[in-house]
Amino acid sequence: MKVDLTVLGRSLGKTCSNFEKIVKFLLTKERLTFHEDGVDCIKIQNQPTKMQTTLEIPKLRSEFDTLMEKFDAYVEEVKNEEEGDGYNLLEFVKGGDYEKMTELKAVLLELSEVDDSTDFIHEEDFVEHTEEEAETDGFDPNAWWAEGIDWEAAAEKLKEKYEEIEYNGNTFYYRKSE
């Protein structure tokens, strides 16, 4: 994974008068940088994604706010030339928190019109969800003819009524409020 250093401070809508100093600091640390198509970049660790079976908008907002506060504090350290300035910012970028923060921002923007109480169904749970939906709609799973139902095909058809979102390497489905 790489981060274009010229967008590091700007991608979140932030302006930083000492941005060049931040970039210079990151370029000199641990030889993590490289040049690609004339752009200075920094390599960051690819964090293994954990299977996440739930998605809750308030928790995403809270996680984003926490990461944003850290990012702002680390940028302030560099701007104010505090002792050890830049180390925390470098660790924030290298450790994957910057990448996670930008992913959270994109997800929250995509879900900005979605109600906080919306249910999100993980892709691996969608067949089971389809069966539950059918029962809610009056389907009798114990009927003799129910044994031949292809629930995976039914789930694929039901997905047409749902929106899809990717987060943390996982796919979730949800219905927009009408």
Tokens for 59?
A: 């928790």
Helix ranges restricted to H, 81-169:
87-94, 97-110, 126-136, 151-158
Which pLDDT score is estimated for 74? 86
Higher-confidence position of 126 and 47: 126
CATH class in words for 121-174: mainly alpha
User: For residue 25, what are the contacts with CB-CB under 8 A and spacing of at least 6?
Assistant: 78, 85, 86, 89, 90
> Is residue 154 very low, low, confident or very high in pLDDT (cuts 50, 70, 90)?
very high
Q: How far apart are CA 2 and CA 42, in angstroms?
A: 6
Residue 106 pLDDT = 94
pLDDT classification of 50: cutoffs 50, 70, 90: very low
Domain boundaries, the chain: 2-45+52-110, 121-174
Output DSSP code: residue 56.
Answer: -
| pLDDT value at 178 more than 80 | no
User: Among residues 131, 106, 22, which one has the least CA distance to residue 72?
Assistant: 22
